[in-house]
Amino acid sequence: MSDSRSVLAAALEFHGHRCWASVTGVRAGLAALRTLGVHRAGGSQLHAIIETGEEHGAMCFGDGVQYSTGCTFGKNNINKNPLGKLAVTVVDKASDLAVRVSYKPTLQKQIAASAFMQQRAAGVSPDKIPEADQLELVDLMWNAPEDDILSVGEVFSQPRNWLPEVMGFTPCQQCGELVAQAYVRLVGERRMCIPCSGYDR
Ligand SMILES: [Zn+2]
Ligand SMILES: [Zn+2]
């Protein structure tokens, strides 16, 4: 547990403030790894699909998932299925096995009544909320029994043809910037980046 507490501390540092939704994301990610019997991805061995959407509360869930699972937008081993839900499916590419973990709103009344959420409702940015108020909800979510806050689904099979990474880059012959191979466009004989080529995609 002390090990995962250090994951929590690092995740919150990465996230930029301390909030219940990012903690929930960390716990959801750790629960998925444990259920699949896998470790945090250092490469692209896992893939996560998060269900948070755009411009709504608690999107911070996604940062907790990214940090705890190692499925990150930089590695492109995460994508969004934007349903406006606090849920994630993690797939182990080696076995094609997957599990979906979703947030159970048992503590929602307590969260809504907290000093943290009242300040959020009044428009205070989360990083400007006093640390003690931030930590109140962090501790609430971190210390809650897993079964109270998460629903961990059955492991299921999710076979998929994963696309290989294409490694090469080519300099655009117009602006000189490097462009990943699949994004190079041909204009006459010249190889260009999309903006220089004039193509939409
Ligand atoms: Zn947050
Ligand atoms: Zn260019």
- What would the pLDDT profile of 170-200 be if each residue is shown by its tens digit? 999 999 999 999 999 999 999 999 999 999 9
The predicted pLDDT at position 2 comes to 46
How many A from CA of 106 to the centre of ligand 1?
A: 19
How many A from CA of 57 to the centre of ligand 1?
A: 9
Query: How far, CA to CA in Å, does 86 sit from each of 52, 89, 104, 192?
Result: 6, 11, 9, 40
Is it the case that residue 82 has pLDDT exceeding 80? yes
Q: At what angle do helices 2-15 and 20-36 cross, to 10 degrees?
A: 130
What span, in angstroms and rounded, lies between the C-alpha atoms of 191 and 113?
58
pLDDT band at 119 (very low <50, low <70, confident <90, very high): very high
How many A from CA of 174 to the centre of ligand 2?
A: 5
Greater pLDDT, 35 or 6: 35
Is it the case that residue 1 has pLDDT exceeding 80? no
pTM: 0.89
| Smallest-distance ligand from the CA of 173 | 2
Compute the mean pLDDT over every residue in the chain, rounded to the nearest whole number: 94
The predicted pLDDT at position 178 comes to 96
Average pLDDT over residues 107-129: 93
How many A from CA of 60 to the centre of ligand 1?
A: 4
The predicted pLDDT at position 148 comes to 95
The predicted pLDDT at position 166 comes to 83
How many A from CA of 183 to the centre of ligand 2?
A: 11
How many A from CA of 199 to the centre of ligand 2?
A: 12
What number of other Cβ atoms are within 10 A of residue 148's Cβ? 10
How many A from CA of 126 to the centre of ligand 1?
A: 7
Average pLDDT over residues 19-40: 97
Q: Token pair 């012959």 is at which residue?
A: 173
The predicted pLDDT at position 107 comes to 93
Is it the case that residue 80 has pLDDT exceeding 80? yes
In 104-176, which ranges are continuous DSSP H helix? 108-113, 115-121, 131-143, 146-149
Average pLDDT over residues 88-113: 95
Biggest CA–CA distance in the chain, Å, is 64
